[in-house]
A and B are shown apart, each in its own frame.
Chain A
Amino acid sequence: MSDLTALPVTELQAALASGETSAVEVTRAHLDRIATEDGDLGAYLHVTADAALQRAGEIDAAGTAGTGLAGIPVALKDVFVTEGVPTTSGSRILEGWRPPYSATVASRLHDAGTVLLGKTNMDEFAMGSSTENSAYRVTRNPWDRDRIPGGSSGGSSAAVAGRLAPFALGTDTGGSIRQPAAVTGLVGHKPTYGSVSRYGLIAFSSSLDQAGPMARTVMDAALLHEAIGGHDPRDSTSIDTRVLAVVEAARRGAGGDLSGLRVGVVRELGGEGAGEGYDTGVLERFAEAVALLEAAGADVREVSCPAFDLALPAYYLIAPSEASSNLARFEGMRFGIRVGDDGSRDIDEVMALTREQGFGPEVKRRIILGTYALSAGYYDAYYGQAQKVRTLISRDFSAAFDGVDVLVSPTSPTVAWPIGARVDDPLAMYAADLCTLPASLAGVPAISVPCGLSEGLPVGLQVMAPALADDRCYRVAAAVEAALGAPLTDRLLERAA
């Protein structure tokens, strides 16, 4: 058997089903690779090695390995609550906390027979685009270990690109699945808001957060998506609708025929109207990807969404506002660390000390920003105004989707940057989300699919679709993947060889 960590999930399924390998072997292969690589790569915060082998053994014993996702290892971003397994959301404030319950998506994956390898590193409370805001460790990009793996789901992207997991879950609030997927050569999808349960996902910005898959191929991402999707009565914002048929869409798209599909290139996002800040190489790969779509039969035109230019300021008011409230529960009373409770301080001081020492600088920055934006006298000017912009962005999407089936743009304006390059420049860091923010604010689905290399580093194409039309994202992504011939991450294997 070839290296089990090099196989896509679809091939692992076949190998498990035929008895060519076992869930224990597949799990052990990934644990071995974690053992040798993760010290340097830094993808994981917590590896559940023993539990994984035990679970894999159970799956083998039950004889279900290879049916659906049974026996396939998976990694979860540490933002998902997992019963009995340390969960930190990348923050010092939750150090040592073992949750008494599991997120709905974690339970669904468990019930599907997947094997949890561990929890992956992330920017603290999912705030960041490089995973450098983690309170625990640096995560490196497998393509160039001196560069960032994107963020905030950078642990998941590094793990999957580096073959320390076949696929992984991330979460996306303003681009935190798509951007790390783009800069590590992965497929990453942010589902329609409300189509994947948020129960047990430690909230950053409730009206934007959405869990989604990260994988090396479009089909692998679709398989993971179908396993976690669907209505959850524990999440009031969960849409009560059928599970989206994304696997079927990925299969259909792999045929490579996009005849009749109307594709809009967003003028404001890497199109003619793109401003500064885009790498030339990124724009070149993007233009080539658009040409590929045309060659596959798509009808490509340019569309304008003027309100998208306002997405960045609107996002940086709405997300911090909600975060300032969502993070209020971390005050050391019921879980996580408590600082200064030595009998000499009153409760306000203990809460303040706990938060002062438990939160990192970026989290504090956003709490202050959000607290200010929600304050009496400023609410209308900031939070209220940002919500209006959000409505305008949704209208731009609606108008655009009257004429086209999907919208495309680069996922990230740049390739992965060197570790440390933007840590002292929050605005430069925020600019990494320029292309991903509109879909977040409108709640529509968007996928990032690899479309080549620039300076030897991956570039992603973003495909956005109307709400609940996630299948279109997968169809187009699969067609791009098919046109490029092989998953981009295969190049990493070639390099290693």
Chain B
Amino acid sequence: MSETLVEFDDVLTRYEPLIGLETHVELGTESKMFCGCSTTFGAEPNTQTCPVCLGLPGSLPVANAAAIESTIRIGLALGCRIASWSRFARKNYFYPDIPKGFQTSQYDEPLCVDGHLDVEVDGRTHRVEIERVHLEEDTGKNLHVGGATGRIHGADHSLVDFNRAGIPLVEIVTRPVPGTGAKAPEVARAYVTELREIIQTLGASDVRMEQGSLRCDVNTSLAPVGSLEWGTRTETKNVNSLRSVERAVRYEMRRQAAVLDAGGRVVQETRHFHEDTGSTSPGRSKEEATDYRYFPEPDLVPLAPDAEWVEKLAAGLPELPAARRARLQEEWGLSGTEMTWLVNAGALGLVEQTVAAGASPAEARKWWLGELARRANDAGVDLPELAVTPAQVAELAALVGEGTINDKLARQALDGVLAGEGDPRAVVAARGLAVMGESDELVAAVDAAIAGAPDVVEKVRGGKVQALGALVGAVMKTTRGKADAATVRRMLEERVLSS
């Protein structure tokens, strides 16, 4: 059964959306949250376990200091207040992937509260308020074997991998974000993008959505335009890419509008996002009924981050993405729009590194937004995945700048680099791509062109100087593009016009 949907633009004529996001980030600490086990991704199942993360009787947790530090740094980067007193709490429920029968999390005493993150969409800044940033442990992973779908229904049996159980997980919860209107889907996406970049800049996590080290739950609700009350929200899970964040909000807005239009009531529920169709479907309603019976974790002592230490952490934060963008925009003399293009293309860091390797900002930008963007698009990959480094791009720009190659040859040199033939200079040498000087070969080619087209020569001499282009083209053809067009033109002019 496919859902009735309202056209997106139509939704906004009657309803105001309200979005909220809960983001889980696996921290990149060496060891797990409460034991010394490794956190390396992709190891053989159940090889990174011990009595503590398996929840064996008698085992006890010891909190990972590095994870606490990372969480506080994330909180500080989001402008949060760091609690002077914070506690872990037990979230009790039964599921085979939680070994202790409860997840050690935080409840009413989180580490960081009351922050914000400003995101820009189409030139307008939206302030997303952060309610809390807290620390918890990840669950294990269930593997359902023998079914067609890999889901639990129809499976023959299930296996559990506890390698992931106990990996430190930071949860970042926003307050509902009002006033986004038609931009709600983009604001949601921009928020996760910016958050991801901040955490990356902090070095707190590798934030890879496809590996699940950054996971996002998107809350969406609609209220009639002008209403003072919020609508009922749904929580969409399994949103595994930036694009999906946007699509999930868009879909929920359209679906909920249809429900409300029909006089129905939006059910407060967890929904599942489907990457293939871009739609959502209800999760198990059972989850909603769970009473987690939170209470303070008696096996762990309360956290009381020392104010001086927190100040030191704040002072030691790296330059954050927003500040960096402002600085680079200034340094490179870009307009806001130009900067936005650069950021949206995911090219900011690449351009910065290319500039650092010696290219001019304009050259670096031209390469990454032009030729390289085209190549990435053709290959269906993101820019950073191209097999070319910023240093190699700077070298290409330098080769063009010094006249060794022209733009056309540079594209051939890039082919070589992408094909793994080495650095640009090596490719130019190996493929013989260098622009010809006034060599005998070039002189011969120029003379041959003049001799081969007396009619053109006549026209030029008669005043139609633009006809010289045909002769330039002929020379470039004979030299297979290796000649420098300007040089060829000058040589032709010398020979045709001055005799």
Residues of A at under 8 Å CB distance from B?
80-81, 87, 89, 94, 97, 99-101, 103, 198-203, 205-207, 233-237, 321-322, 324-325, 327-331, 333-335, 347-348, 351, 371, 374-376, 379, 383
Contacts and interface: CB of A to CB of B under 8 A. Distances in A.
B295 A374 contact: yes
Contact of B56 (A100, A233, A348, A375): A100
Given A235-B60, A371-B293, A333 B96 contact: yes
B58 A202 contact: yes
A103 B58 CA distance: 7
A347 B60 contact: no
Residue from A89, A235, A325 with most neighbouring chain B CB atoms (10 Å)? A325
Given A237-B299, A347-B96, A351-B94, A335 B56 contact: yes
Contact of A236 (B58, B61, B158, B293): B61
Contacts of A374: 92, 293-295
Contacts of A198: 60
A371 B56 CA distance: 21
Contact of A335 (B57, B102, B160): B57
19 contacts: A80-B58, A81-B58, A89-B57, A199-B58, A202-B57, A202-B58, A206-B299, A233-B62, A234-B62, A236-B299, A237-B300, A325-B101, A328-B92, A328-B101, A331-B96, A333-B160, A335-B56, A335-B57, A347-B96
B373 to A, nearest CB: 49
Q: Interface extent on B, as a size class?
A: 20 to 34
Contact of A334 (B54, B90, B295, B299): B54
A68 B58 CA distance: 28
B94 A81 contact: no
Contacts of A100: 51, 56
A349 to B, nearest CB: 12
Contacts of B301: 236-237
B291 A375 contact: yes
B258 interface: no
Nearest to B301: A236
B298 interface: yes
A240 B333 CA distance: 58
Contact of A322 (B54, B59, B298): B298
Given A236-B300, A325-B92, A328-B101, A334 B56 contact: yes
Given A325-B90, A347-B96, A99 B58 contact: yes
Given A321-B295, A325-B295, A236 B60 contact: yes
Contacts of B121: none
Given A101-B51, A328-B101, A331-B101, A200 B59 contact: yes
B473 interface: no
Given A101-B56, A234-B60, A329 B298 contact: no
Considering the complex of A and B, which 9 residue pairs feature the smallest CB-CB distances, nearest first? Answer: A328-B101, A374-B293, A206-B298, A207-B298, A81-B58, A200-B58, A202-B57, A329-B55, A329-B101
B390 interface: no
Given A329-B101, A374-B92, A375-B293, A199 B299 contact: no
Contacts of A379: 293, 295
A207 B18 CA distance: 43
Given A200-B58, A334-B55, A236 B63 contact: yes
Contacts of A371: 293
A390 to B, nearest CB: 12
Contacts of A205: 298
Interface of B: 51, 54-63, 90, 92, 94, 96, 99-102, 158, 160, 291, 293-295, 298-301
Given A202-B58, A235-B62, A322-B298, 8 more contacts: A236-B300, A237-B300, A325-B92, A328-B92, A329-B100, A330-B57, A331-B94, A379-B295
A344 to B, nearest CB: 13
Contacts of B100: 328-329
A334 B98 CA distance: 11
Given A206-B298, A207-B298, A321-B295, A329 B92 contact: no
A194 to B, nearest CB: 9
B295 A99 contact: no
A81 B101 CA distance: 19
Contact of A203 (B54, B58, B102): B58
Contacts of B56: 81, 99-101, 334-335
Given A203-B58, A325-B92, A376 B291 contact: yes
Nearest to A370: B293
Contacts of A234: 60, 62
Contacts of A233: 62
Contacts of A203: 57-58, 299
A87 B293 CA distance: 29
A331 B100 CA distance: 9
A324 B295 CA distance: 11
A325 B51 CA distance: 18
A329 B53 CA distance: 12
B293 A376 contact: yes
Nearest to B52: A234
Contacts of B51: 99-101
B484 to A, nearest CB: 71
Nearest to B61: A236
A207 B299 CA distance: 7
Contacts of B295: 321-322, 325, 374, 379, 383
Contacts of A94: 57
A233 B90 CA distance: 21
Given A325-B102, A376-B293, A87 B96 contact: no
B92 A81 contact: no
Residue from A322, A333, A348 with most neighbouring chain B CB atoms (10 Å)? A333
Contacts of B291: 375-376
Contacts of B58: 80-81, 99, 103, 199-203
Residue from A89, A101, A236, A333 with most neighbouring chain B CB atoms (10 Å)? A236
A429 B61 CA distance: 33
B249 to A, nearest CB: 30
Given A207-B298, A348-B94, A376-B293, A328 B57 contact: no
A238 to B, nearest CB: 9
Nearest to A327: B101
Nearest to B291: A376
A81 B298 contact: no
A202 B102 CA distance: 16
Contacts of A206: 298-299
A237 B298 CA distance: 8
A119 to B, nearest CB: 13
Contacts of A376: 291, 293
A117 to B, nearest CB: 20
Contacts of A322: 295, 298
Residue from B51, B55, B160, B293 with most neighbouring chain A CB atoms (10 Å)? B293
Contacts of B102: 325, 328
A205 B293 CA distance: 16
Residue from A99, A328, A330, A376 with most neighbouring chain B CB atoms (10 Å)? A328
Residue from B56, B57, B293 with most neighbouring chain A CB atoms (10 Å)? B57
B299 to A, nearest CB: 5
A100 B96 CA distance: 20
A492 B399 CA distance: 101
A335 B101 CA distance: 13
Contacts of A202: 57-58
